[in-house]
Each structure stands twice: as C-alpha cells, then as structure tokens.
C-alpha cells in the first residue's frame, strides 16, 4: 500500500511538472505568431496603382500615346495646334467628368519643384522622383493650380493628391480640352516640352504607360 502511494505521488508530481513546462513553452510560440500576423496587415494608407494618376486610369482612353507623331492633319484631336513627337501620354476624362472635379495623384515619391502656368498646358506641376532607378522630372499638365494641395519644396508621395484637372477650354488648360498630360523626363533638368521635332530626342523621356501600367509577370 505504501509503495502504491509513493508511485501515485511521483506520477502526480511528474504530471504537474509536465503541465508547468508546457505552459512556459506555449507563450513564446503564441507571441511569435502574433508578431508575424501583425507584419501581414496592410496599412489602409496604401493606394493601389489603379488610382494613379487618375481614378480608373487603366480604363481611360489615351488619344495621344508616347512617341506618336502629331500634326494638324493627322492628329486625333480636332483643331490641333501642335506638331512633333509626343513626349508623354494624354489621359482623357470620362464623359460624365466634364463638369466634375477630377483628382490628379502623384505617381511617385518626390519633391515638388515647379508649380506654374506654362504655355500650351495652362497649370503645370513638376515633381522630381526616382523611377526605374533613374532620376526623373515628372510633369503633370492642364491642372487647376489655384487650390492645388501640391506646394513647391514639399515632398509628395505615391498616391498623394496634387491637384484637380483644369476645366474644359479654360485658362487652366490653356484653351485645351480637359485631360491630363503626363510626361517623364530623364534627369534633374526641367523640360516642359510636350513635343520634340526629332524622334531620337524621345530617348530623353520614359514612356509613362510602362510606369503606371507595368506588365503583369
């Protein structure tokens, strides 16, 4: 009887020790899982590329793609007044946006270096960024500048609000239709040309479509 009591006591002690040790090892496992879980949470501030630079950019018509040769006779735009190889892309508005505020967002992280009226564009904002490991200046054209959030000297990040498009045939678009001209010049130097006369000069710009609509791998 005494031997049975000793065996039961030893068994009870062993079970308590096992229970105590198992609780100690569980805590770190739960903590590590919790830490990994928190790393998987995507911040709500992240913006999708499909809202850059305009909402539903992937669905918009591009009447003037990068590099197209434009002149008054062949242009897809009536009463064309420009000629040359297009250095950017034109993203058109939807019909229902003709009298609506159309928000323009930054396509990259970088400092605003210019905000002014420019002949041929109306309102222009220029941002310095690094894209595809290259220093570039990004030109957003045909904007309403009077109440634009973008300010020279301040850094704006991918998806941040810069301005709204200027009204159709207004001073903000320099009499042009309501649309966004997006140009990306390689280097630090500001170049506001929307067209170049020599096709070889296009090598100084990046095709914005390849930036905002990268190929799906």
- CATH assignment of 49-212? 2.70.70.10
Residue 167 has a pLDDT of: 98
How far, in whole angstroms, is CA 64 from its chain's centroid?
21
157 closest CA partner among 45, 60, 50? 45
Residue spans of alpha helices (H) in the chain: 2-39, 208-212
67 closest CA partner among 213, 194, 186? 194
Residue 31 has a pLDDT of: 30
The pLDDT tens digits along the chain (217 residues) read: 555 555 555 555 555 555 544 444 443 332 322 332 223 233 334 444 557 999 999 999 999 999 999 999 989 999 999 999 999 999 999 999 999 999 999 999 999 999 999 999 999 999 999 998 999 999 999 999 999 999 999 999 999 999 999 999 999 999 999 999 999 999 999 999 999 999 999 999 999 999 988 766 5
Residue 37 has a pLDDT of: 27
Residue 145 has a pLDDT of: 98
């Amino acid at each position: 009887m005494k031997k049975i009591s000793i065996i039961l006591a030893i068994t009870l002690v062993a079970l308590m020790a096992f229970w105590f040790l198992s609780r100690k090892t569980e805590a770190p496992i739960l903590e590590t899982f919790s830490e990994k879980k928190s790393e998987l949470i995507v911040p709500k501030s992240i913006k999708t590329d499909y809202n850059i630079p305009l909402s539903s950019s992937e669905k918009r018509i591009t009447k003037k793609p990068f590099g197209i040769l434009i002149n008054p006779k062949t242009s897809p735009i009536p009463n064309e007044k420009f000629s040359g190889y297009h250095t950017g892309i034109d993203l058109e508005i939807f019909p229902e946006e003709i009298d609506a505020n159309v928000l323009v967002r930054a396509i990259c992280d970088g400092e605003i270096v210019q905000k002014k009226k420019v002949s041929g564009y109306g309102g222009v904002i220029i941002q310095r960024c690094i894209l595809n490991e290259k220093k570039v200046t990004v030109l957003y054209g045909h904007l309403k500048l009077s109440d634009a959030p973008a300010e020279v000297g301040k850094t704006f990040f991918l998806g941040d609000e810069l301005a709204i498009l200027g009204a159709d045939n207004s001073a903000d678009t320099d009499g042009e239709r309501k649309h966004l001209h997006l140009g990306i010049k390689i280097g630090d130097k500001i170049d506001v040309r929307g067209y170049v006369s020599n096709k070889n000069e296009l090598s100084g710009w990046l095709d914005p479509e390849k930036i905002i609509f990268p190929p799906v791998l």
